[in-house]
Structure 1
Amino acid sequence: MTEGDRHETSTRSFLACAAEVARLLNLEAAAGVPENRRARHLAGTARRPLLERATLPEEFFDPLMAAAVYDPDPSFCRWFVEPALYAFGRRRVMTALLGYLRTGTTAEQAGARRAWYCAHLPLRADRSPAYAPGGSRDPALDEADDVVDQWLESSSAQRRDRHASGSHDQA
């Protein structure tokens, strides 16, 4: 598979993920937007409505995580991670990313690494209506020290395995 083929496959996967999030929000499909910009357009259109909701239905979680992992631009995967953090909690988001790291394809593992950075965003009561009126939320949603430890252990094991096999690719 050539680099161009990989990019096209990644772009199509991201488009499918962004389109699913947009569908769940009942947003327009962006039919008039050129295909090479459609995924980013859908992601941008979904960003504000996602952050403006105090809660998200359960059906949003997997599509948000997939969109974050498949987003090829590390600057923008935040658009999916951040609303998931507020709605579902840091622990659940990090656990999902750990799953991609452990069992995903090489591309999914790389996407999980990009999204992991965003999973550490500071959560602020003024940023989301997901907080109670007094600016509080259940701390158990965001307690993730054990998940961070598991991430570090899995990342180290993968680096050792790549080094032992002679592969120095930065996936």
Structure 2
Amino acid sequence: MVGEERNEEEAPSLLSATAEVARLLDIDNVASVLEHQGARHLAHAVRKPLLERVRLSEEFFAPLMVAVVYDPDASFCLWFIEPALYAFGRRRVTAALLSYALTGTDAEQAGAKRTWYCAHLPLRADRSPPYAPSGSRAPALDDSHGVVDKWLRHDTSPDRKGS
């Protein structure tokens, strides 16, 4: 979504985003899971391999963010937002959510609002080597103060109150 205009009919889904993440992870049984069980089971199948990766390539970012905003259950969106935070940084994830909130379809705006709080979960050293005491990570990747300020201005603007 980020930077694109789209209507509801053209919008991706949790299933398509999860299938893309599974494809990128090279998970063998994607077709079988899709045919018999659907998006939630496929999300479960990709969770562990996502968290086991120290790095994710750039091609993971968009499908992870689509899965985040299209997951109807804010508890399960953690399965996608957590690896995105570790791999791409809090600043980029929150900026993508802000973009969805400002320019997304109704479903994307609702998803961004539903999952905003998950973008602020604590990042732990035991989940990713760069956060360990001996690890190194550019602090700018996780500095999201400016994005948070924009979110708060957007979310409390006079034309948004009551919605």
Q: Place the TM-score, normalised by the shorter chain, in its bin.
A: 0.7 to 0.9
The one-letter amino acid paired with 1:161 is D
TM-score by length of 1: 0.81
- 2:30 counterpart SS class: coil
Say which structure, 1 or 2, has more relative contact order (CA 8 Å, 6+ apart).
Answer: 2
Indicate if the aligned counterparts of 1:102 and 1:109 stay in contact, CA closer than 8 A. Answer: yes
Question: Distance in 2 between the 1:162 and 1:127 partners?
Answer: 37
Q: In the alignment, which residue of structure 2 is the partner of 1:155? A: 155
Structure 1 residue 16: Cα displacement: 0.9
Offset at residue 38 of structure 1 (A): 1.2
Size of the aligned set, in residue pairs, is 152
CA contact (8 A) 1:64 1:84 kept: yes
Q: Could you list the runs of 5+ residues in structure 2 that have no partner in the other structure?
A: 1-8
Distance 1:129 1:44 in 2: 23
List gaps (5 residues or longer) in structure 1.
1-8
Flag as ranges the 4+ runs of structure 1 deviating above 3 A: 32-35, 129-133
Residue identity (%): 64
- Map of 1:15-164 to 2, 5 A cutoff? 15-27=15-27, 28-31=29-32, 37-131=37-131, 134-157=134-157, 160-163=158-161
More off after superposition, 96-105 vs 108-117: 108-117
SS in 2 for 1:119: helix
Structure showing greater radius of gyration is 1
Cα distance in 2 for residues equivalent to 1:110 and 1:162: 13
Using structure 2 for the length normalisation, give the TM-score.
0.85
Is 2:33–2:42's contact at 8 Å kept on the other side of the alignment? no
